[in-house]
Chains A and B, each alone.
Chain A
Amino acid sequence: MQQGTRPHRGFTYSLSAILFRLLGLAVIDAFAVWLLPQIIHDRVWYLVVLLVIITLGINLIFLREEYYPLRWMSPGLALMILMVVYPLLFTVYTAFTNYSDGHLLTKQQVIQVLGQQLYLPEGGESYKWTAYRSEDGQYALWLVSPEGKTFVAYPGRPVQPAVPGQGDIGPADDQGTPTHIGALQRLDRIRVIRYLPDLEKLEFGTPPQVLKIRSLDEAAALQPRYVYDPQQDAIVDRKTGKVYRADDRRGSFVAPDGEELTPGYQVFIGVANFRRLFRSPALRGPFLRVFLWTILFAAGTVFTTFALGLFLALVYNDPHIRGRKIIRSLLIVPYTVPSFISILVWRGLMNPHIGVINTTLEKLIGWAPPWFSSPTWAKIGVLLVNLWLGYPYMMLISTGALQAIPDDLYEAAEIDGAGLWQRFRQITLPLLLISVGPLLISSFAFNFNNWNVIYLFNRGGPPMPGTPTPVGHTDILVTYTYRLAFASGGGGDYGYASAITIIIFLIVATITYFQFRYTRMWEEISENV
């Protein structure tokens, strides 16, 4: 088994192979170099870093001999870095910020958003307007003040009083406004709507009398209500005169009397989220119970689905069985329906009042399990649903893995007089567990965080009475902790949720890691087969 450390790479050194590789690399590098300046220009830093890492990585792998094995994995690794590692890092970063409702935007965005708010100061003028547009996109406004005085306004030029018929202003028709102003044609109500986005952005007139369009009926000397003062690092509300200083630790602009401006902004808050988690009432509450149930649920799911899946795979392993193709296809049916549909169907079937399962049981034996009100039965129920959902997967992989076990092993065993069960236990199971073991472990990790089943089945219920935060008997760690961050009906603290995610990840990863170390034993055994 030790050979193969320096694999023989005859072809790899040939000229055409080298050229082929270089060309490929060149294309990738060209692509990267083309893309990079654009991304840098847009200052999307994380994308820059990702691109550089991936490109450098690929170059390294394909140019240096010692990274030869990695060449085989480069596409997979590149994609993984982009789509999995990056979001992971992103979550880690978020956990140290206050990214949440009220703090979704960056400080700059908040300044910008507030800066867009306009108001009409005391004594500011407002007019009725009609718009005019030239072929090449120039605009002008015909204004009528509340007193009936008329004006013309161009972007960037002072507002001038004007009268129809004078200068290059066309005559007024029965609509009361000039038909044209110079080369600009009047836009009627229907056509003006198309140009609203342009008109909205224009500023007509010059300071101090700058007019903006406020609505279809009104143009007014609107002013930005909030102005950012970089020297004070504060925002001034021109309408009320209040000054809100930036509090970069909290992530909002605060006035001396404590009033906060909304929206706030994202700031880095260090380990505050983690501290909050460890101090939260949830951890004082039934945390241990939830944690234990989570482990039980994951392990129970893996065990039952594997048992059933393997059993079925074995039963139909003989190629001489008639109709086994059809039978297996039928058995895989649970896998053909998206899981959220199935969970809802099972919910319906298990409904204590009208569900078929319960009504039938009641008729037969006069009692049916209270799937949704009893803590024990709710747990069993959710395991049963997961069993139905999961056994096809186990059946599939067991079927596949069974093919790898050589027949002669069985033949030899049979000659030695080994019975069915012995053959299973000594040959099938060990060999199977070697190839399938890691899958069981990964299934455990998956179900540890199986939010879907728990939530859709009964939202984690039935509820536990007398707890510091809402908890249900079938809640697993993820549903329990996410509720802290999201409450119900949305409204969330993503920074907090990220911190929680990291902790859960550490827990699962640790468990998974130790499970893999345990299975190391299996792999060593296989080397002796």
Chain B
Amino acid sequence: MSRNMGGFLASKRRQRQLITLGRVLVSVLAILYAVFPVLWIASASFDPRNSLAQQRLIPPNASLENYRALLNNPLQPFPRWMLNSIKISLITSILAVLISALAAYAFSRFHFRGRRSLLLTILLVQVFPNFLAMVAIFLLLQQIKNYIPSLGLNTHGGLILVYLGGALGINTWLMKGFFDAVPRDLDESARIDGASDWQVFWRIIFPLVRPILAVVGVLTFIGTYSEVLLASVLLRSKENFTLAVGLWQLIEGQYTQKWGIFAAGALIGAIPIMVLYLIAQDWIIGGLTRGAVKG
């Protein structure tokens, strides 16, 4: 008996050791893989030579020149762009999460006729390739501008509105799956206590699905933050640009590519997303869920 116990313990420990070793190895490789190109961008940002071809990992005359140029250029208000991007993405992701969650709750809890077809239709509609929609959306916002100026062309409100058009979609289905995993007994017991649908949703279910809300929020934030096609068509004045638009213009010029400045901008621009993810991580991992689901 004791010999078995000894063998059992030993193998369990070795298993754990192996797993940890494996994990460390994976971490190193994965981080290298993930970060290497970004390291390259970082190195370019410190290289005053502005040429992609001549780059080395450690730039020979490293300097902060690009950063200075980036931040002190009154004609390219980079800090303003950052603020715009953060503001637009934040508002869009919060609203998108709400809109999607409401719909996901309905899909999950109410088994109405045509439920599945509606969801499928929504998903299929969102699959439509959006390139040419550019013209339609442009003209639409231009018209809206005539009646509700704050939501028209060249406004952040208008851009947010356009982004929210995509709020219902695959994220809804993702959320629905999560909502499905929350047992109905919770709903029932709340209802017995006299709660309405809305209260069930807001007080009980919503907090339980925090991880998926955080995931969708982060994804939406990132998606809108780096979106450049619609934003460059709909935003006109420099002060209104988002970060993505500003950076895009820096490198899509004719033969003149301010690669170094562009790299500096990209790097600084990446910070909000990192911060966001760090904050949101807790929610994504959310311990509470597991407890509730068990019950």
Question: Touching in the complex, A and B, CB below 8 A?
Answer: yes
Q: Which residue of B lies closest to A392 (CB)?
A: B34
Residues in B neighbouring A392, C-beta threshold 8 A:
34
Q: Which residue of A lies closest to B257 (CB)?
A: A344
Does B137 belong to the interface (CB within 8 Å)? yes
Given A76-B100, A403-B284; A84-B132 close (CB under 8 Å)? no
Does B55 belong to the interface (CB within 8 Å)? yes
Cα distance A505–B151 in the bound complex, in angstroms: 29
Q: In which size bucket is the chain B interface?
A: 35 or more
Does A380 belong to the interface (CB within 8 Å)? no
Cα distance A494–B132 in the bound complex, in angstroms: 8
| Pairwise interchain contact B128-A69, C-beta atoms closer than 8 A | no
Least CB distance, A447 to chain B, in whole angstroms: 12
| Pairwise interchain contact A400-B133, C-beta atoms closer than 8 A | no
| Pairwise interchain contact B109-A336, C-beta atoms closer than 8 A | no
| Pairwise interchain contact B103-A72, C-beta atoms closer than 8 A | yes
Across the interface, A329 reaches (CB within 8 A) one of B123, B214, B274, namely: B274
Does A15 belong to the interface (CB within 8 Å)? no
Does A415 belong to the interface (CB within 8 Å)? no
Contacting A at CB under 8 A, from B206-239, are: 211-212, 214-215, 218-219, 222, 225-226, 228
Residues in B neighbouring A341, C-beta threshold 8 A:
41, 247, 262, 266
Residues in A neighbouring B251, C-beta threshold 8 A:
344
| Pairwise interchain contact B162-A8, C-beta atoms closer than 8 A | no
| Pairwise interchain contact B168-A42, C-beta atoms closer than 8 A | no
| Pairwise interchain contact A513-B136, C-beta atoms closer than 8 A | no
| Pairwise interchain contact B174-A396, C-beta atoms closer than 8 A | no
Cα distance A38–B294 in the bound complex, in angstroms: 57
**Mask of A55-82 contacts with B, CB within 8 angstroms, 1/0:** 0000000000010111111011101101
| Pairwise interchain contact B167-A76, C-beta atoms closer than 8 A | yes
Residues in B neighbouring A400, C-beta threshold 8 A:
178, 211-212, 214-215, 284
| Pairwise interchain contact A445-B226, C-beta atoms closer than 8 A | no
| Pairwise interchain contact B33-A388, C-beta atoms closer than 8 A | yes
Does B146 belong to the interface (CB within 8 Å)? yes
Count of A interface residues, CB-CB < 8 Å? 106
| Pairwise interchain contact A90-B133, C-beta atoms closer than 8 A | yes
Contacting B at CB under 8 A, from A510-529, are: 512-513, 516, 526
Across the interface, A501 reaches (CB within 8 A) one of B37, B54, B132, B137, namely: B132
Cα distance A4–B285 in the bound complex, in angstroms: 30
| Pairwise interchain contact B168-A80, C-beta atoms closer than 8 A | yes
| Pairwise interchain contact B129-A449, C-beta atoms closer than 8 A | yes
**Mask of B97-113 contacts with A, CB within 8 angstroms, 1/0:** 00110110111011110
Given A346-B37, A348-B52; A83-B164 close (CB under 8 Å)? yes
Q: Which residue of A lies closest to B214 (CB)?
A: A400
| Pairwise interchain contact A11-B196, C-beta atoms closer than 8 A | yes
| Pairwise interchain contact A334-B147, C-beta atoms closer than 8 A | no
Across the interface, A84 reaches (CB within 8 A) one of B26, B128, B173, B266, namely: B128
Given A90-B136, A330-B31, A334-B38; A79-B109 close (CB under 8 Å)? no
Least CB distance, B141 to chain A, in whole angstroms: 10
| Pairwise interchain contact A12-B110, C-beta atoms closer than 8 A | no
Residues in B neighbouring A438, C-beta threshold 8 A:
123, 170, 173-174, 177
Q: Which residue of B lies closest to A84 (CB)?
A: B165
| Pairwise interchain contact A8-B191, C-beta atoms closer than 8 A | yes
Contacting A at CB under 8 A, from B153-211, are: 161-162, 164-170, 172-174, 177-178, 180-181, 184, 191, 194-199, 211
Q: Which residue of B lies closest to A438 (CB)?
A: B173
Least CB distance, A449 to chain B, in whole angstroms: 5
Residues in A neighbouring B222, C-beta threshold 8 A:
335-336
Across the interface, B137 reaches (CB within 8 A) one of A87, A330, A509, namely: A87
Cα distance A12–B55 in the bound complex, in angstroms: 65
Cα distance A438–B115 in the bound complex, in angstroms: 16
Does B59 belong to the interface (CB within 8 Å)? no
Does B58 belong to the interface (CB within 8 Å)? no
| Pairwise interchain contact A44-B130, C-beta atoms closer than 8 A | no
| Pairwise interchain contact A356-B27, C-beta atoms closer than 8 A | no
Cα distance A393–B143 in the bound complex, in angstroms: 36
Does A153 belong to the interface (CB within 8 Å)? no
| Pairwise interchain contact A84-B147, C-beta atoms closer than 8 A | no
Does A497 belong to the interface (CB within 8 Å)? yes
Across the interface, A77 reaches (CB within 8 A) one of B53, B162, B166, B168, namely: B168
Across the interface, B146 reaches (CB within 8 A) one of A9, A42, A315, A331, namely: A42
Least CB distance, B295 to chain A, in whole angstroms: 10
Residues in A neighbouring B21, C-beta threshold 8 A:
none
| Pairwise interchain contact A501-B129, C-beta atoms closer than 8 A | yes
| Pairwise interchain contact A407-B294, C-beta atoms closer than 8 A | yes
Least CB distance, A259 to chain B, in whole angstroms: 30
| Pairwise interchain contact B199-A11, C-beta atoms closer than 8 A | yes
Contacting B at CB under 8 A, from A397-416, are: 397, 399-401, 403-404, 406-408
Does B57 belong to the interface (CB within 8 Å)? yes
List 10 additional A-B contacts (Cβ < 8 Å) besides A7-B109, A10-B191, A404-B178: A3-B184, A5-B110, A79-B165, A82-B161, A321-B23, A341-B266, A403-B290, A445-B127, A482-B131, A513-B120
Closest 5 A/B residue pairs (Cβ): A83-B165, A11-B196, A87-B133, A338-B226, A72-B106
Chain A interface (Cβ < 8 Å from any Cβ of B): 1-5, 7-12, 17, 35, 38-39, 42, 44, 47, 66, 68-73, 75-77, 79-80, 82-88, 90-91, 94, 312, 315-316, 319, 321, 325, 327-342, 344-346, 348-349, 351, 354, 356, 388, 392-393, 396-397, 399-401, 403-404, 406-408, 434-436, 438-439, 442, 445, 449, 451, 478, 482, 494, 497-498, 501, 504-505, 508-509, 512-513, 516, 526
What are 16 A-B interface contacts by the 8 Å CB criterion?
Answer: A2-B111, A7-B197, A86-B136, A87-B133, A327-B27, A336-B270, A337-B266, A396-B218, A396-B284, A404-B178, A404-B212, A435-B174, A439-B170, A439-B173, A501-B128, A501-B132
